[in-house]
Amino acid sequence: MAGLLNGKVVVVTGAGGGIGRDIALAMAAEGASVVVNDLGASLTGVGADQGPAQKVVDEIKALDGKAVASTESVAGWESAQKIVATAVDTFGRIDCVVNNAGILRDRFFFNMSIEEWKTVLDVHLNGSFFMARAAAPHFKTENTGSLVNMTSTSALIGNYGQANYMAAKLGIAGLSRSVALDMAKFNVRSNCIAPFAWSRMISSIPTETPDQVERVNRLKTMETAKIAPLAVYLASDLAKEVTGQIFGVRANEIFLFSQPRPVRSVHNAQGWTPERIAQQAIPAMRAQFTPLERSQDVFSWDPI
Instruction: Give me the pLDDT at residue 139, please.
Output: 98
Instruction: Give me the pLDDT at residue 303, please.
Output: 87
Instruction: Give me the pLDDT at residue 300, please.
Output: 86
| Annotation says 165 is catalytic | yes
For 272-295, how does the pLDDT look when each residue is reduced to its tens digit (9 = 90+)? Answer: 999 999 999 999 999 999 999 999
Q: What average pLDDT does this structure show over 77-99?
A: 98
| The one catalytic residue among 129, 130, 139, 165 | 165
The CATH code for residues 9-259 is 3.40.50.720
Residue 286: name the closest of 275, 295, 277 by CA: 277
Query: What's the predicted TM-score (pTM) here?
Result: 0.91
Instruction: Give me the pLDDT at residue 87, please.
Output: 98
The whole-angstrom separation of Cα 94 and Cα 136 is 10
DSSP the chain: ---TTTT-EEEEETTTSHHHHHHHHHHHHTT-EEEEE-----TTS----SHHHHHHHHHHHHTT-EEEEE---TTSHHHHHHHHHHHHHHHS---EEEE-------B-GGG--HHHHHHHHIIIIIHHHHHHHHHHHHHHHHT-EEEEEE--HHHHT--TTBHHHHHHHHHHHHHHHHHHHHHGGGTEEEEEEEEE--SGGGTT----SHHHHHHHHHHTTS-GGGGHHHHHHHHSGGGTT--S-EEEEETTEEEE------------TT---HHHIIIIIHHHHGGGPPP---HHHHS-SPP-
Greater confidence (43 vs 171) lies with 171
Q: What is the mean pLDDT of the chain?
A: 92
For 177-213, how does the pLDDT look when each residue is reduced to its tens digit (9 = 90+)? Answer: 999 999 999 999 999 999 998 655 555 555 677 776 6
Residue 146: name the closest of 196, 83, 101, 93 by CA: 93
The letter for the amino acid at 25 is L
pLDDT at 96 over 80: yes
pLDDT at 31 over 70: yes
The letter for the amino acid at 49 is D
Instruction: Give me the pLDDT at residue 205, please.
Output: 58
pLDDT at 94 over 70: yes
pLDDT at 45 over 70: no
Find the largest Cα–Cα distance for the chain: 73
For 128-181, how does the pLDDT look when each residue is reduced to its tens digit (9 = 90+)? Answer: 999 999 999 999 999 999 999 999 999 999 999 999 999 999 999 999 999 999
Q: Provide the β-strand partners of residue 37.
A: 13, 70
Domain regions of the chain by residue span: 9-259
